[in-house]
């Protein structure tokens, strides 16, 4: 009897252990299956968190990264005329410095690239012509002085009733001729810029600027009117753009223009004039554009975008293609903010000549990143990776 009770107790204990082991296995499987479900349910309940679209950068960091910006204006692709242009010196911004007399170059004061002021001597030419000009001036001055004394003498004699009035009038006429000759000699000496000793002429710059061409050597003999120097003022420039016959009819003085530099920067400008006829060689008109910017140099080739006033009110916005970046499958443009830039989703349209039309997402007057905008995209992608 006792043996049966022990066997029954052992059976019950074994059953309890089996039941406990089975319950533990079921609980473990249930726990393992529930672990991935709980976070998913929480995520669905919390909703999807939008990605950060702001890039914080200081003005110094923007400049150091080479990111360029542009203020956008209204006007579609049809409202723009893209043309190639050349930066040239304005009529009053370049001067050809020539020899005023034949002779030998005895002194050279300036070299290529030097800064000069208006009226500053560049060289001296020793010349027999200068000596003749100086001698003519001295002779004319002496004759004028003699004629003045003759008038004074005749006026005294006429007042004393000694000489006739006709003698006084003749003396006055001779004095007028002598004075006129003296003035002519002084003007000639001034135009030739004769030195004080009368041995040579001074070659000076008529404008302030830098020497861009130098064609003179010490001791060389030069003829009159030979170009010796060329001086240009980089501040006085103009941009000349070639336009076809149809485009030339759309552009008028006062229309806005944008100059695009090779490094991606842009300069606001304005059309000053358009030639009324086409060139016989190129069959194109020339639009003269004014722009005050020290970055432009005479001889530089640039691209300009002209905006006719009549088409400037048309809807649409056009930006460089480099300004539009693809971020998470959508087109964005980085708009300048107080602390850096913010990605703005946009809808794009037609593309032409490196420009793309923005149908929605931007407004005229906003400042956007144009050059090196991909750096901002990379910065956003980097920030998203760090958050993950």
For the chain, domain boundaries: 2-46, 55-71+315-387, 77-92+234-307, 94-232
Contacts of 56 (CB under 8 A, 6+ apart): 339, 340
Neighbours of 249 (CB within 10 A): 12
Higher pLDDT, 254 or 32: 254
Phi, psi angles (nearest 5°) of residue 68: -105, 150
Residue 351 to residue 80: CA distance in whole angstroms: 12
Residue 84 to residue 342: CA distance in whole angstroms: 33
Helix or strand holding residue 196 (H, E): none
Contact present, 351 and 76 (Cβ < 8 Å): no
**What's the CATH code, domain 77-92+234-307?**
2.40.30.170
Higher pLDDT, 40 or 61: 61
Q: Using a pLDDT cut of 90, give the percent of the chain over it.
A: 34
- Phi-psi region for residue 221, left (φ > 0), alpha (ψ -120 to 50) or beta? beta
> Of the candidates 24, 27, 45, which has an alpha carbon nearest to the alpha carbon of residue 35?
27
* pLDDT, tens digit, 9 for 90 and up, residues 149-170: 999 999 999 898 888 999 999 9
**What's the CATH code, domain 94-232?**
2.40.50.100
User: Is pLDDT at 374 greater than 80 in this prediction?
Assistant: yes
49 DSSP assignment: P
CA torsion sign, 280 to 281 to 287 to 292?
negative
User: Is pLDDT at 42 greater than 70 in this prediction?
Assistant: no
Contact present, 243 and 253 (Cβ < 8 Å): no
Contact present, 89 and 231 (Cβ < 8 Å): no
CATH 2.40.420.20 fits 55-71+315-387, yes or no: yes
Residue 114 to residue 129: CA distance in whole angstroms: 29
pTM of the predicted model as reported, rounded to 2 decimal places? 0.55
Average of per-residue pLDDT across 289-306: 84
pLDDT of residue 26: 35
Neighbours of 241 (CB within 10 A): 27
pLDDT of residue 20: 42
> Of the candidates 136, 144, 111, which has an alpha carbon nearest to the alpha carbon of residue 218?
111
Phi, psi angles (nearest 5°) of residue 56: -85, 125
User: Is pLDDT at 38 greater than 50 in this prediction?
Assistant: no
């Amino acid at each position: 009897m006792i043996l049966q009770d022990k066997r029954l107790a052992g059976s019950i204990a074994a059953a309890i252990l089996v039941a406990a082991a089975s319950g533990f296995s079921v609980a473990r499987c249930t726990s393992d299956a529930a672990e991935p479900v709980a976070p998913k349910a929480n995520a669905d309940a919390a909703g999807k968190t939008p990605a950060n679209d702001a890039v914080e950068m200081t003005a110094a960091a923007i400049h150091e990264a080479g990111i360029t910006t542009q203020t956008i204006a209204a006007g579609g692709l049809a409202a723009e005329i893209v043309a190639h242009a050349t930066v040239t010196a304005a009529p009053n911004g370049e001067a050809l410095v020539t020899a005023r007399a034949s002779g030998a170059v005895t002194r050279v004061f300036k070299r290529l690239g030097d800064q000069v002021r208006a009226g500053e001597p560049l060289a001296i030419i020793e010349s027999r012509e200068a000596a003749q000009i100086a001698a003519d001036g001295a002779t004319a001055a002496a004759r004028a002085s003699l004629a003045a004394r003759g008038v004074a003498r005749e006026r005294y004699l006429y007042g004393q009733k000694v000489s006739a009035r006709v003698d006084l009038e003749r003396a006055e006429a001779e004095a007028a001729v002598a004075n006129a000759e003296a003035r002519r000699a002084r003007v000639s000496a001034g135009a030739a810029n004769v030195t004080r000793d009368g041995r040579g002429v001074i070659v000076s710059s008529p404008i302030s600027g830098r020497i861009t061409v130098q064609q003179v050597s010490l001791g060389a003999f030069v003829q009159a009117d030979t170009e010796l120097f060329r001086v240009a003022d980089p501040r006085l420039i103009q941009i000349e753009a070639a336009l076809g016959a149809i485009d030339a009819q759309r552009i008028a003085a006062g229309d806005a223009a944008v100059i695009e530099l090779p490094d991606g920067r842009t300069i606001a400008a304005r059309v000053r004039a358009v030639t009324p006829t086409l060139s016989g060689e190129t069959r194109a008109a020339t639009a003269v554009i004014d722009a005050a910017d020290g970055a432009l140099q005479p001889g530089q080739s640039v691209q300009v975008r002209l905006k006719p006033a009549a088409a400037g009110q048309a809807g649409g916005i056009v930006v460089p293609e480099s300004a539009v970046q693809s971020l998470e499958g959508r087109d964005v443009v980085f708009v300048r903010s107080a602390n850096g830039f913010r990605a703005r989703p946009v809808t794009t349209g037609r593309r032409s000549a490196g420009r793309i039309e923005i149908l929605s997402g931007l407004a005229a007057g906003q400042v956007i990143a144009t050059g090196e905008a991909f750096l901002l995209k990379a910065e956003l992608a980097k920030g998203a990776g760090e958050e993950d």
